[in-house]
Structure 1
Amino acid sequence: MLDTKKRKSDGVYYEKIEGSKKKAKHVTAPANDEPSPKPSSSSAQTERAVEENNAAAPRSFQDLGIIDSLCDACKALGYKAPTPIQNQAIPLALQGRDLIALAETGSGKTAAFALPVLQALMDKPQPFFGLVMAPTRELAYQISQAFDALGALISVRTAVVVGGFDMVPQSIALGKKPHIIVATPGRLLDHLENTKGFSLRSLKYLIMDEADRLLDLDFGAIIDKILKVLPRERRTYLFSATMTSKVESLQRASLSNPLRVSISTNKYQTVCTLLQSYVFIPHKMKDHYLVYIMNDFASKSVIVFTRTVNETQRLAILLRALGFGAIPLHGQLSQSARLGALGKFRARSRDILVATDVAARGLDIPSVDLVLNFDLPEKSEMYIHRVGRTARAGQSGHAISMVTQYDVEIWQRIEAALGKKLGEYETHKEEIMVLGERVEEAQKMAVKEMKDLHEQRGTKGATLRGRRVGRGDVGKRGRDEMDREEG
């Protein structure tokens, strides 16, 4: 069912579509009894009212209006039934309307925008039909893979345009006139300004995925430049986990009379199948407790989140020295190394992924048994994104957070945001003390290897600074993107 609710934004009342099992209630006036002004049809921020549909909720992609060939692709990929965001977004997108969709990561957002775009592409195939902008390179590759898989039966051509790679092969890929481009904003603007013969004047669909994070990473000015060279006659989908003031501004600048759907009731909500706990420890014993917990979850799939690149690399070395299959993921790795790390973790050739927050949002990594917050995130919202890497698609999962004497205030903020107190993870001090000698030896090895690594990077950095960066290198904005990405 669709439930309509009314709220006020910047002096304009509009109706918001939300998932609900209840019948829609009549829209009432605001609490101050002032009459609700009618929305202006010319305003880009106005959202049209949608009539309540009393029919039963769709149970298949075919019921949503998706054609048979794409339904077959969904079946081949194991998509048994539409998710809530797909149930709401796809029928509206097929009506040819601009769309704002609010939903958390892992809710099936990619298929929610990919299926309508591919269906429209089949009706009128043309090069440079759709553009998807994503905040990180890993997410861009993941979206591209989804388009390739869903569009395999129609031989859809995609191109990924992201920083961290040579621009020349990307220019060649764009010269082959792909149907769909998936890009990070900085590198896309590099190509629009420097790649001869490349333009998006015929673009039909623009999708901005993880829009709140795109703007958190200060891509706003670059996105504004990109929007200026795109055709006004296009369909635009804006997908975001939260509706911030920056996202509201982007909505007004880029969308025309959009419809809005939302399945998010609380941005700090976690799934009921997630078991959350904490362990309160002295700061100097963090490594010991880490190894103890890794032993508890031996042979399980684990993501360990840290706050810095240096700590990510150090912990991966320390765990490997103790016989664990750990691999690091952070923003200072080369793009091939980052994709390789994700590939090994997905394939379970490595059980432990030690990562910065670059892995906290958007990435679809199935069957993660444990998320361990070695360092607590500064923002409570990031805690939700981190623990959302486990307990996905109805599966169970565990999240454990290390809280030291320096983290009490941060942890209290996280619990306040969650609206509940979490239990303490049971540990045995005697067993932890037994690990002391081995852990300390591994710490020494990690310190030595980190020192060697920093010396190698220093030499390499000096060499790179002596080179003249041109179009064949990563490009200025490509490097800027690497700096922007968290971790």
Structure 2
Amino acid sequence: MSFAQLGLSPALVKAVAAQKFPTPTPVQEGVIPEVLKGRDVLGIAQTGSGKTAAYALPILDRMQTNRAFRNRYVKTLVLVPTRELALQVGEVFLGFSAHMPISIKTLSVFGGVSINPQMMKLQGTDILVATPGRLLDLVEQKAVHLSEVETLVLDEADKMLNLGFEEEMRQILALLPKKRQNLLFSATLDNKVNAIQETLLREPVIIEIKEEESTVSNLITEIAYLVDTERKGPFLRYLIKHHQMKQVLVFVSATKRADHLVTKLATNGIKAVALHSGKSQGARTEALALFKKGKVQVLVATDLAARGIDVPELPHVINYDLPRSSKDYVHRIGRTGRAEATGEAITIVTPEDAHHFKIIQKQTKRTITTQETKEIDLKGF
């Protein structure tokens, strides 16, 4: 099926082609026609399945004839849990709208930076992508009004609820008009997500893309290495140097671990930067920009900070520390193998990790090839 067959206008079909999207993913096939019809949608799909484009494309399509007329009264509101995801979603809207015949303004707002520039930029905004706390700050300052919102999107609703945004979301929902289109997206349908969709959505179309239906896993080669704890750092450096990795995202369990690992890599001649919640927004944005441009080989990130990282054709992801849950494992490896590009996901497993790694494989229904590393000489690494 082509994007044109989904009902998108010629302008949006051209925009998709310009962004080099070959064919719709399963979630895009299911969601786009329903959003175009004005239906409420509950989309359940894993990271990397293309859900941002699934709602961005039809929203832009409908906005061609239904833009905001009153300044600071946005028509579309997208709520996300993190700053990085806000920027990523905003970039998707901007990427598609750049190829459209009319001007549609998208703005991403989030905390951790000065509010004044965001207040000024809100003028003329049609589509607002926001984290809940900063949105309420802007509403309190009367910099934006929500009474004319026609489409509400909750992206990564599971993360928003798990991070404790329920009260902020209740306040925001109370400011919205009752008559509107609601689009709810989540990687999982747990009790919290189910509860909010029952109160938020009206006769929704449910689009659920099970993991085995997604092409993402088919594009990713997964491998694990058994490594003694004291050889873990040298083995990571061996992997990067021996395989001449030019761009690799490394996941760790904590912010201090990230900073320590970056120092160790730099000492051994590997350019690296850290991305975690302990850094300012400016530092986080700069770190991601340096990594995307290829000016540093390695980006060391924690799970929360990595929400929203979208690097085209990222070739390597390494789990230096095991994730806490199987869901986080799927999210991590989903950073590679995107947009039809292949990728490699490597997990370093110490003896202490072995049992937990077996649980992750069982819960994700994966059998991951595991290799011993005792024979590898790590002197000099």
List runs of 5+ in structure 2 lacking aligned partners.
Answer: none
Structure 1 residues 406, 182: closer, same or farther in 2, change over 3 A? same
Q: Deviations over 1:33-82 (max 9, x none)?
A: xxxxxxxxxxxxxxxxxxxxxxxxxx222211111112121111112222
Give the 4+ runs in structure 1 shifted more than 3 A.
265-270, 359-362, 425-430
Shift of 1:119: 1.8
Q: Deviations over 1:330-349 (max 9, x none)?
A: 11111121111111211212
Deviates more, 1:194-203 or 1:86-95: 194-203
Mapped to 1, the partners of 2:9 and 2:214 lie a distance apart of 36
Q: How does 1:46-61 map to 2 (within 5 A)?
A: 59-61=1-3
1:257 is the counterpart of 2:197? no
CA contact (8 A) 1:106 1:364 kept: no
Q: Secondary structure at the match of 1:407?
A: helix
Name the residue aligned to 2:194. Answer: 248
Structure 1 residues 420, 149: closer, same or farther in 2, change over 3 A? closer
CA contact (8 A) 2:220 2:337 kept: yes
Q: Secondary structure at the match of 2:377?
A: helix
Name the residue aligned to 2:159. Answer: 213
Name the residue aligned to 2:296. Answer: 350
Write the letter of the residue equivalent to 1:394. E
Shift of 1:361: 4.0
> Normalising to structure 2: TM-score of the pair?
0.93
Of the three residues 112, 122, 128, the one matched with 1:181 is 128
Mapped to 2, the partners of 1:307 and 1:253 lie a distance apart of 35
List runs of 5+ in structure 1 lacking aligned partners.
Answer: 1-58, 440-487
Of the three residues 2, 27, 34, the one matched with 1:92 is 34
Write the letter of the residue equivalent to 2:133. G
Q: Secondary structure at the match of 2:331?
A: helix
Deviates more, 1:260-269 or 1:316-325: 260-269
Shift of 1:317: 1.3
Name the residue aligned to 2:49. Answer: 107
CA contact (8 A) 2:227 2:349 kept: yes
User: Number of paired residues?
Assistant: 375
1:124 is the counterpart of 2:124? no
Of the three residues 109, 117, 129, the one matched with 1:161 is 109
Identity across matched positions, percent: 37
1:407 is the counterpart of 2:349? no
Q: Deviations over 1:301-324 (max 9, x none)?
A: 211110010010111111111111
CA contact (8 A) 1:103 1:264 kept: yes
Q: Secondary structure at the match of 1:304?
A: strand
Q: How does 1:4-403 map to 2 (within 5 A)?
A: 59-126=1-68, 127-152=73-98, 153=100, 154-174=102-122, 176-192=123-139, 194-196=140-142, 198-265=144-211, 271-403=217-349
Shift of 1:360: 4.2
Shift of 1:372: 1.2
CA RMSD after TM alignment: 2.0
Mapped to 1, the partners of 2:143 and 2:225 lie a distance apart of 57
Deviates more, 1:365-374 or 1:160-169: 365-374
Q: Secondary structure at the match of 1:406?
A: helix
Write the letter of the residue equivalent to 1:316. V
CA contact (8 A) 1:361 1:386 kept: no
Structure 1 residues 305, 268: closer, same or farther in 2, change over 3 A? farther
Write the letter of the residue equivalent to 1:163. G
Shift of 1:221: 1.5
> Normalising to structure 1: TM-score of the pair?
0.73
CA contact (8 A) 1:278 1:424 kept: yes
Q: Deviations over 1:256-282 (max 9, x none)?
A: 111111222459996133222222222
Mapped to 2, the partners of 1:430 and 1:87 lie a distance apart of 47
Name the residue aligned to 1:461. Answer: none
Write the letter of the residue equivalent to 2:340. G
CA contact (8 A) 2:219 2:343 kept: yes
Mapped to 1, the partners of 2:316 and 2:21 lie a distance apart of 25
Q: Secondary structure at the match of 1:333?
A: coil
CA contact (8 A) 1:211 1:247 kept: yes
Mapped to 2, the partners of 1:376 and 1:96 lie a distance apart of 42
Mapped to 2, the partners of 1:188 and 1:308 lie a distance apart of 28
Shift of 1:184: 0.5
Mapped to 2, the partners of 1:103 and 1:248 lie a distance apart of 14
Structure 1 residues 419, 366: closer, same or farther in 2, change over 3 A? same
Write the letter of the residue equivalent to 1:118. L
Q: Deviations over 1:165-221 (max 9, x none)?
A: 1111112222x13101100111111222x2135321011110011111111111112
Q: How does 1:434-449 map to 2 (within 5 A)?
A: 434-435=379-380
Write the letter of the residue equivalent to 2:28. Q
Mapped to 2, the partners of 1:282 and 1:268 lie a distance apart of 34
Q: Secondary structure at the match of 1:399?
A: strand
Mapped to 2, the partners of 1:431 and 1:252 lie a distance apart of 57
CA contact (8 A) 2:31 2:207 kept: yes
Mapped to 2, the partners of 1:170 and 1:361 lie a distance apart of 22
Name the residue aligned to 2:371. Answer: 425
Shift of 1:136: 1.0
Mapped to 2, the partners of 1:88 and 1:269 lie a distance apart of 15
Write the letter of the residue equivalent to 2:134. R
CA contact (8 A) 2:277 2:305 kept: no
Shift of 1:132: 0.4
Mapped to 1, the partners of 2:209 and 2:45 lie a distance apart of 6
Mapped to 1, the partners of 2:203 and 2:292 lie a distance apart of 40
Name the residue aligned to 1:54. Answer: none
